[in-house]
Amino acid sequence: MAANLFYIFCSNLLGFLQGKFSLQESLEIMISHEATGKKIKNFTSYILSELEKGSPFTTILIANPYILIKKQYQLLFYSEEKTGDYKKSLDYVCKSEKEKNETIEEVIKLSLYPLFIILLCIFGSIAFIFYSKDFPVYVQQASVFSGIAYANIFLVFFLLLFAFSFYMLHKKPIKNIFLICLDFFLAQSFDFTTALEYASYVFDDKKNIRQIVLDSLSGLSLGLELSTVFDKTGLFTKSEIKTLDLYIFNGNLRGGIDIVLKELERKAQKNKDIFISLVEPSLIICAGIYFLLIVIHSLLPYLTFYGGLL
């Protein structure tokens, strides 16, 4: 819910900024507009009041009590704060959140049938537990709840793995954020050294990588190749380094960054397509294994027992 609120906020703010309104004017319009939801209006009012007190926009976003802002978004806004233009960050947030929402809708649509089967199995196991109380004690002791326990442990493990896979699918690698921030500064005519220094702040949680970048800054003026700095971070593949090196040689680093980012997005989209294609079959298999565990470890012993009596 909070993520959707932030998406709506960023989408509206981006629209006004693209309409040549200032940041403060855009926020004032959003607050006064009747179509603005109450939660968005409260969030926007908080930001505007803090801006009027002189607080930086990024600091306000990070400290706001309404919506938890993702770390990668914080880094992007922090980078653009030095340029005074937030449109690229807002556009990135809107695209990322829209893609995630579309994936969620697709996953839900594909999951309805398999989840219905899993729910039937769960209700069946609950009914089985309820009626097993009337069975003789020696029958219950044979294999009472082992199958149901195994099945539910498997189900919890599978759903956790599924949720983790979805999270990793939409987690942008830190090098994406680094390249985007670097491009921000280069677009504003910062020199390579200054752009790298500012962009290195995205590695706040990875002090060793940031230190590598900072240590390389003095070497740039002594002839150190810029591609070597990218290589030393250990984040980029050989192919990506070659692409960046080629564009640096041609004096167009931003072109190289654009190519690398597009390739990273292409790979991310491919992984997303694979994930989507596996959602339904994996959930159906999960339902089958869940049911099979109950049958083998709980239901079959009862059938065998009564079959023996007959």
Coil vs helix vs strand at 206: coil
Predicted local distance difference test score (pLDDT) of residue 2:
54
C-alpha–C-alpha distance, residues 27 and 13, integer Å = 7
Total residue count of the chain as it appears in this document: 310
C-alpha–C-alpha distance, residues 291 and 124, integer Å = 9
C-alpha–C-alpha distance, residues 48 and 54, integer Å = 10
Confidence tier at 77 by pLDDT (50, 70, 90): confident
Run of H or E residues at 222: none
Lowest-confidence region among 32-36, 60-64, 124-128, 241-245: 124-128
**129, 145 Cβ separation under 8 angstroms:** yes
**79, 202 Cβ separation under 8 angstroms:** yes
Q: Is the pLDDT of residue 308 over 80?
A: no
C-alpha–C-alpha distance, residues 143 and 145, integer Å = 6
Predicted local distance difference test score (pLDDT) of residue 310:
44
Residue 48 neighbours by CB under 8 Å, 6+ apart: 24, 27, 28, 31
What are the tokens at 92?
A: 């990135």
Q: Is the pLDDT of residue 1 over 70?
A: no
Predicted local distance difference test score (pLDDT) of residue 200:
82
What are the tokens at 6?
A: 């932030």
For 6, 206, 239, the CA distances from 58, given in Å and listed in that order, are 14, 20, 34
C-alpha–C-alpha distance, residues 193 and 196, integer Å = 5
User: DSSP alpha helices (H): ranges in 82-205?
Assistant: 87-132, 137-143, 146-169, 174-187, 192-199
Q: Is the pLDDT of residue 223 over 80?
A: no
Confidence tier at 193 by pLDDT (50, 70, 90): confident
Mean pLDDT value of segment 256-261 = 90
Q: Is the pLDDT of residue 224 over 80?
A: no
C-alpha–C-alpha distance, residues 145 and 163, integer Å = 27
Query: Between residues 102 and 308, which one has the greater pLDDT?
Result: 102
What number of other Cβ atoms are within 10 A of residue 97's Cβ? 20
Confidence tier at 49 by pLDDT (50, 70, 90): very high
**186, 195 Cβ separation under 8 angstroms:** yes
Confidence tier at 177 by pLDDT (50, 70, 90): confident
Predicted local distance difference test score (pLDDT) of residue 199:
83
Could you state, in order of their start, the residue ranges of all structural domains in the chain? 2-69, 95-310
**How does the average pLDDT of the chain come out, rounded?**
82
What are the tokens at 189?
A: 């005519």
Predicted local distance difference test score (pLDDT) of residue 136:
56
Lowest-confidence region among 29-33, 129-133, 239-243, 304-308: 304-308
Q: Is the pLDDT of residue 309 over 50?
A: no
Q: Is the pLDDT of residue 143 over 60?
A: no
What are the tokens at 152?
A: 């539910």
One-letter amino acid for residue 2 of the chain = A
pTM of the model: 0.71
Confidence tier at 3 by pLDDT (50, 70, 90): low
What number of other Cβ atoms are within 10 A of residue 138's Cβ? 8
C-alpha–C-alpha distance, residues 143 and 150, integer Å = 12
**169, 271 Cβ separation under 8 angstroms:** yes
Predicted local distance difference test score (pLDDT) of residue 133:
63
pLDDT one-digit tens code per residue, 274-297: 988 888 888 888 888 888 888 887
Coil vs helix vs strand at 87: helix
**7, 97 Cβ separation under 8 angstroms:** yes
* Residue written as token pair 């099945």: 151
How many alpha carbons lie under 13 Å from residue 111 in its C-beta half-sphere?
A: 16
